[in-house]
Amino acid sequence: MTGHRDDRFVAHFDMLGMSLLTKRDPDLAWEKLSALSRARDERLHLGIERLDTKELITDQVRAFIFSDTMIAFSKGSTQNDALALLLLTTEVFSRALYYCIPLRGGIAHGRFGFNLDLNLFSGPALVDAYELGESSQWLGVIIDDRTAEVAKSVPLRSERGKDAVVQWEVPVKNGPPVARNVMNWVETHRHNYLGPIPLTVEAFYSPMEALFGPWEALPQVIQIKYENTVAFFNAQYGGRLSADVP
């Protein structure tokens, strides 16, 4: 099966810490990779009902995992394709957290080609998605402007009527935070958390100690990623929709 020169919505996710985990404990790394595959299979084939048209969206997304990376892409370039990729990859992101797998990712729109017979995947949209996720210093999902425009035009909201795509000052590797459109996974999966607010970094990280060791032993650059994630979590769970709102 091949797809050439077509515009699609493309997602790129990678698991934080997988390289070091693989070297230290290959069996545990394989276990977590298998859990990521399970998260994908449990969530990626869910049906989505559009609230505005009552249309049921199914079978719009394909996804593949290799090493510490998952890529997913839509069949086409329609509103339904964008909604399916945004919602289903966010489902996988949240389910992965349930399995103590920290992911960060990006979603972009543009040209993307593939050949499933040869396991070939390439295109500017894949590079854009990779760069959006790779540059970020947190666990989260960043969306390019075109994809965000589609999501906001529907609009895409949570069960409480809050926007599922919001602006956030995303911490990046080099330089000050950058204003980006991001998936508000905290809001869309608010029901998954029943603990105290504010959530502490230590509490958020504690389920992952078995993978990466105690919090105190983590390099500061890794700690910062979890701290940035918890800052986003507390802001969104507390009802704020941007980093600029006091």
Residue 245 domain flag: no
- Position 3 confidence tier, pLDDT thresholds 50, 70, 90: low
In a domain, 246, yes or no: no
| 1 pLDDT more than 70 | no
Measured between alpha carbons, how far is 35 from 15 in angstroms, rounded to an integer? 12
What CATH number corresponds to the domain at position 30? Answer: 3.30.70.1230
The whole-number pLDDT of residue 51 equals 78
Which residues share a beta bridge with 120? 115
Amino acid sitting at position 214: P
Q: Is 244 part of any domain?
A: no
pLDDT band at 244 (very low <50, low <70, confident <90, very high): very low
Burial (CB < 10 A; 0-12, 13-18, 19+), residue 219, is exposed
First-to-final CA distance of the chain: 51
pLDDT in tens, 87-107: 999 999 999 999 999 999 999
Percent of the chain with pLDDT over 90: 81
Residue 243 located in a structural domain: no
Query: Looking at the domain assignment, is residue 56 inside a domain?
Result: yes
| Residue 63 phi, psi dihedral angles, 5° rounding | -145, 145
The domain tally of the chain equals: 1
- Interval 191-215 mean pLDDT: 94
- Domain, as residue range, for 132: 2-237
Backbone φ and ψ of 209, nearest 5° = -60, -35
Q: Residue 188, Cβ neighbours under 10 Å: how many?
A: 25
pTM above 0.85, yes or no: yes
Residue 217 lies in a domain: yes
Question: Percentage of residues in the chain with pLDDT exceeding 70?
Answer: 95
